């Protein structure tokens, strides 16, 4: 089955930061997990290069907007590689192929009579590239996000008839309770719709850096329309000579932060319907990573800079931290000190230690060959047993419950560590009569480690790759506990998560 997942495209007027990395890693986890399950996955990310924010940033630097885009887009592409994002394509909206496809789609919106000409008067924030309604204004007519005073602007615009989609959107939300996850974001979007939709400005005459309207070249398109359509246009040119639209559209998951919910949950489905296109299956909305305590950490200073984290600890440690420290869907605090604590406690002491002692004991007691034995029933049942684990994780990831799925897996990492303490393999080795028991314990440990490592692959791709090679596992599909017999030769590996030098 086809599975198409997207991130928002990121504005090229700023440097890539932790927020961009977080959204991208979330989408990457879904992409990698679905690839593991054998689905036909397409994962898209990219940069948003038109609009006033880019124009203004370029002006400040004394260069043209295309030059700014050309300078900054590669920084985002580098970030994708840094965090091990496995995107299949990176779209840039200044790409002429995108521009051409947007013109076609918007012409269809025009032909279908969903636009009209009118006067717009409102409070405009150039940094948001968005008009604010009276309700949304901050104190003293300011932008609530950027906290800058706004000017009332009046101009001739083309409008998109968003109001005419009131019933369609209400029906969409009634029929598809999982159109937006988590549920509180669904409720937020629905309540926005239920307050009554107003038509939105589609073009601006003053904008210099943006696409011209195909039916009125005196006006340029409001950047959000051009940006939203990237999710569809990319499919038509991502593969040379092949149009993937029929294969992947509508998207299965569109992942984004909560600040762009309104555009994606309201305007986007209306725009798609206006263009005779299907709406995406689900939007997954996450909260903000808030920089918490400013306590110094030993190796990162007091700022959680993704570049520095990856350079010092590797991408997997960052990927793990983001989804352990903050519940996906909600806001949560992150910090450099918190990162280091979790790195030591969970990656070095729990998972890393489980891996190294399992491999070491197989080496020491069975010459590096995983024994052939029955798995220990003690690990199967109970709250943190392995029974039903794969199905549970798959079901959670189907609902984009990234933190809960990881928590399920991590409970089993902890269960295996407790199992080592309970079964005391070093005592079993003292007594020859316990050969079978030691075989069972070692087999069960190696098998449990294989199962959790396969499930951790989407979260920690590089680590899981190393460990699966050491466990002589060539497959990558999630596997049930006890589904592989013994007999494989293991390899010793250097610590997966070396302890910090103090
Ligand atoms: Zn603003």
What is the whole-number distance in angstroms between the Cα of residue 137 and the centre of ligand 1?
Answer: 10
Of 50-54, 347-351, 469-473, which gets the smallest average pLDDT?
50-54
Calpha distance 107→215 (Å, rounded) = 7
What integer pLDDT is reported at residue 294 of this predicted model? 66
Beta strand pairing call for 332-334 and 289-291: parallel
Given a contact cutoff of 8 angstroms between Cβ atoms, the answer to whether 222 and 204 are in contact is yes
Catalytic positions, written as ranges:
17, 20, 125, 128, 143, 146, 295, 298
* Average pLDDT estimate for 248-277: 97
What integer pLDDT is reported at residue 297 of this predicted model? 73
Calpha distance 224→259 (Å, rounded) = 14
Around 155, how many Cα atoms within 13 Å sit in the side-chain half-sphere? Answer: 19
295-327 pLDDT, tens digit each: 767 778 878 899 999 999 999 999 999 999 999
**Whose CA is closest to 275, among 418, 111, 438, 137?**
111
| Pair of tokens at residue 314 | 């590797």
What is the whole-number distance in angstroms between the Cα of residue 198 and the centre of ligand 1?
Answer: 20
Of 48-62, 129-143, 236-250, 275-289, which gets the smallest average pLDDT?
129-143
What is the whole-number distance in angstroms between the Cα of residue 220 and the centre of ligand 1?
Answer: 20
Distances (CA, A) of 203 to 70, 206, 225, 231: 24, 9, 9, 20
What is the whole-number distance in angstroms between the Cα of residue 331 and the centre of ligand 1?
Answer: 20
* pLDDT of 20 higher than 70: yes
197: Cα separation from own chain's centroid:
29
Given a contact cutoff of 8 angstroms between Cβ atoms, the answer to whether 124 and 150 are in contact is yes
What integer pLDDT is reported at residue 293 of this predicted model? 66
What is the whole-number distance in angstroms between the Cα of residue 212 and the centre of ligand 1?
Answer: 24
What integer pLDDT is reported at residue 502 of this predicted model? 59
What is the whole-number distance in angstroms between the Cα of residue 193 and the centre of ligand 1?
Answer: 22
Sequence-ordered list of residues with C-beta below 8 angstroms from that of 448, at least 6 positions apart, any chain: 379, 386, 412, 415, 416, 419, 481
355-368 pLDDT, tens digit each: 999 999 999 999 99
What is the whole-number distance in angstroms between the Cα of residue 104 and the centre of ligand 1?
Answer: 30
The three-state secondary structure class of 6 is strand
Given a contact cutoff of 8 angstroms between Cβ atoms, the answer to whether 464 and 453 are in contact is yes
Query: For the chain, how are helix, strand and coil distributed in percent, rounded to 5?
Result: 50, 15, 35
What integer pLDDT is reported at residue 78 of this predicted model? 97
What integer pLDDT is reported at residue 128 of this predicted model? 81
What integer pLDDT is reported at residue 457 of this predicted model? 98
Sequence-ordered list of residues with C-beta below 8 angstroms from that of 246, at least 6 positions apart, any chain: none
What's the whole-number average pLDDT of the chain?
95
Given a contact cutoff of 8 angstroms between Cβ atoms, the answer to whether 393 and 478 are in contact is yes
What integer pLDDT is reported at residue 401 of this predicted model? 97
* Average pLDDT estimate for 241-253: 97
Which contiguous run of DSSP H or E holds residue 177? Answer: none
Axis-axis angle for helices 306-313, 315-325 (nearest 10): 120
What is the whole-number distance in angstroms between the Cα of residue 139 and the centre of ligand 1?
Answer: 13
* pLDDT of 175 higher than 80: yes
Which contiguous run of DSSP H or E holds residue 5? Answer: strand 2-11
* Average pLDDT estimate for 156-163: 95
| Pair of tokens at residue 263 | 């555009």
What is the whole-number distance in angstroms between the Cα of residue 279 and the centre of ligand 1?
Answer: 28
* Average pLDDT estimate for 435-449: 97
**What does DSSP assign to residue 301?**
B
* Average pLDDT estimate for 82-103: 98
């Amino acid at each position: 089955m086809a599975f198409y997942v997207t991130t928002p495209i990121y504005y090229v007027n700023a440097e890539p930061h932790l927020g961009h990395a977080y959204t991208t890693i979330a989408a990457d986890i879904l992409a990698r997990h679905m690839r593991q399950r054998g689905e036909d996955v397409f994962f898209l990310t990219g940069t948003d290069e038109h609009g006033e924010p880019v124009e203004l940033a370029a002006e400040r630097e004394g260069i043209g907007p295309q030059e700014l885009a050309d300078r900054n887009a590669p920084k985002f592409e580098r970030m994708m590689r840094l965090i091990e994002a496995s995107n299949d394509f990176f779209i840039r909206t200044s790409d002429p192929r995108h521009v051409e496809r947007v013109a076609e789609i918007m012409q269809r919106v025009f032909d279908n009579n969903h636009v009209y000409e009118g006067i717009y008067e409102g409070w405009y924030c150039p940094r948001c590239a968005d008009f604010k309604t009276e309700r949304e204004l901050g104190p003293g007519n300011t932008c609530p996000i950027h906290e800058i005073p706004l000017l009332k602007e009046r101009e001739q615009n083309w409008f998109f008839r968003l109001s005419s989609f009131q019933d369609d959107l209400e029906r969409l939300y009634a029929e598809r309770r999982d159109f937006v996850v988590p549920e509180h974001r669904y409720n937020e979007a629905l309540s926005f719709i239920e307050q009554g939709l107003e038509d939105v400005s589609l073009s601006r005459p003053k904008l210099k850096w943006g696409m011209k309207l195909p039916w009125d070249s005196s006006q340029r398109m409001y950047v959000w329309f051009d940006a939203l359509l990237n999710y569809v246009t990319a499919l038509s040119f991502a593969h040379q000579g092949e149009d993937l639209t029929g294969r992947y559209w509508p998207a299965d998951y569109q992942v984004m932060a909560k600040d762009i919910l309104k555009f994606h949950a309201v305007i986007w489905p209306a725009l798609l319907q206006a263009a005779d296109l299907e709406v995406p299956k689900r939007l997954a909305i996450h909260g903000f990573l808030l920089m918490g305590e400013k306590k110094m950490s030993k190796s990162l200073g007091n700022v959680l800079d993704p570049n520095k984290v990856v350079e010092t600890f590797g991408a997997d440690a960052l990927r793990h931290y983001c989804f352990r420290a903050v519940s996906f869907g909600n806001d949560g605090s992150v910090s450099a000190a918190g990162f280091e604590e979790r790195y030591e406690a969970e990656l070095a002491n729990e998972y890393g230690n489980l891996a190294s002692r399992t491999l070491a004991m197989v080496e020491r007691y069975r010459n590096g060959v995983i024994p052939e034995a029955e798995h220990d029933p003690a690990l199967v049942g109970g709250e943190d047993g392995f029974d039903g684990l794969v199905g549970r994780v798959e079901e959670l990831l189907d609902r984009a419950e990234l933190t809960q799925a990881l928590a399920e897996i991590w409970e089993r990492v902890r269960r295996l560590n407790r199992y080592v303490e309970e079964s005391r393999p070093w005592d079993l080795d003292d007594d020859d009569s316990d050969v079978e028991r030691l075989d069972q314990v070692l087999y069960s440990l190696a098998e449990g480690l294989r199962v959790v490592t396969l499930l951790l692959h989407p979260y920690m791709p590089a680590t899981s790759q190393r460990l699966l090679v050491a466990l002589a596992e060539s497959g990558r599909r999630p596997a049930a506990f006890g589904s592989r017999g013994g007999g494989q030769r293991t390899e010793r590996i250097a610590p997966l998560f070396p302890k910090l030098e103090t």
